[in-house]
Amino acid sequence: MKIYTKTGDKGTTQVYTSEVLRLNKNDAILECYGSIDELNSHIGMLSALLITDKFDEAEPCLSQAFMFGIQKTLFSIGFAISDKPQIDDNATQLLEEAIDKLQQELPPQTKFILPGGSQLAAQAHICRTVTRRAERTIVSVAQQQNVPDICIQYLNRLSDYFFVAARALNFRSKIADIEV
């Protein structure tokens, strides 16, 4: 299969929904796909860093397998936007359980914190902010067409997960959060 088709050289692309559509590349659906794709790439980077720093072995909620699960769910959200939802109803609950588990080891947060600290935590914060953008774009798409509620719920909870993951990664690295 060729990677290039030249059919998008004039600013449009084909999208497969319940019907085949040709859309401008700045359409809200494509913005959403792009944000989710970018997020998936950042999660891939975080996953690679977790392996390098051996965090993968220490905590299942911060493992490469957990990150792969998130990436697969994001891929399913892409399908749900365009056609048929294939998202596990338990996906959001898994994030909530991970958040609760990670928060148990953390000191209470009493102030706002800045992104940063360790490289792992900084990457988790990047994932968090890109998740928020993906969430905003999916809300825009939901104003134009039917988007399953679970997609928005999952992205909302995912940004919470990355926030707590960043704090946990700093804590495990013995690096204090940068308080404002």
pLDDT of residue 86 exceeding 80: no
| pLDDT for res 89 | 78
CATH superfamily, with its number, for domain 15-103+110-179: Cobalamin adenosyltransferase-like (1.20.1200.10)
| pLDDT for res 13 | 84
Map out the domains of the chain as residue ranges.
15-103+110-179
| pLDDT for res 160 | 98
pLDDT of residue 81 exceeding 90: no
Calpha distance 114→131 (Å, rounded): 17
Calpha distance 34→26 (Å, rounded): 10
pLDDT of residue 84 exceeding 80: no
pLDDT of residue 175 exceeding 90: yes
Among 166, 157, 21, 144, smallest CA distance to 87 is for 157
Q: Beta partners for 114?
A: 178
| pLDDT for res 55 | 66
Give pTM, 2 decimals.
0.90
Contacts of residues 80-84 at CB distance under 8 Å and 24 or more positions apart, as own/partner, are: 80/147, 80/148, 80/150, 80/151, 81/29, 81/32, 81/33, 81/138, 81/141, 81/147, 81/151, 82/15, 82/16, 82/17, 82/29, 83/16, 83/17, 83/18
User: Is the separation of the CB atoms in 79 and 16 below 8 Å?
Assistant: no
3-state helix, strand, coil in the chain (%, to 5): 65, 10, 30
Kindly report, residue by residue over 1-58, the tens digit of the pLDDT.
788 888 888 888 887 766 778 888 998 888 999 999 999 999 999 999 988 777 666 6
| pLDDT for res 163 | 98
Kindly report, residue by residue over 108-162, the tens digit of the pLDDT.
999 999 999 999 999 999 999 999 999 999 999 999 888 889 999 999 999 999 9
DSSP string, 81-142: HHS-----TTHHHHHHHHHHHHHHTSPPP-S-EES-SSHHHHHHHHHHHHHHHHHHHHHHHH
| pLDDT for res 71 | 96
Calpha distance 166→122 (Å, rounded): 7
| pLDDT for res 43 | 97
| pLDDT for res 56 | 61
Residue 175, Cβ neighbours under 10 Å: how many? 14
User: Is the separation of the CB atoms in 129 and 68 below 8 Å?
Assistant: no
| pLDDT for res 85 | 64
Asked which of 73-87, 91-105, 137-151, 152-166 is least confident by mean pLDDT, the reply is 73-87
